[in-house]
Structure 1
Amino acid sequence: MRTLLSIAVLSALSAPAFAFPNPQPLPEPETLALIAVGLVGVLASRLRNKK
């Protein structure tokens, strides 16, 4: 009985150490779109300054 209780306590305490939370999905398309819009803005401002 004591061994069973020890195993139950140890397994309950060690379970969170091996539990990995689900990673949040990354908003990759939106991030790439924001980078593209920023690059277009930088290029447009450089072209205006050259003229």
Structure 2
Amino acid sequence: MLERDGRAEEIAAVIAFMASDDASFITGQNIVADGGVTVGTGSPNLFREFGL
């Protein structure tokens, strides 16, 4: 986990890539751009996220 909030330009870069010809062979995928929050579990640990 990166331990920081994502920046708008980081999410925009993912969107730009998916809209580009470089992603033309990618189909039916969920692209998770969450800085590693869901690594290993597929869902965030909200206790850790909110310091509980």
Normalising by structure 2, we get a TM-score of: 0.29
By relative contact order (CA 8 Å, sep 6+), the higher-ranking structure is: 2
- Greater helix proportion: 1
Normalising by structure 1, we get a TM-score of: 0.29
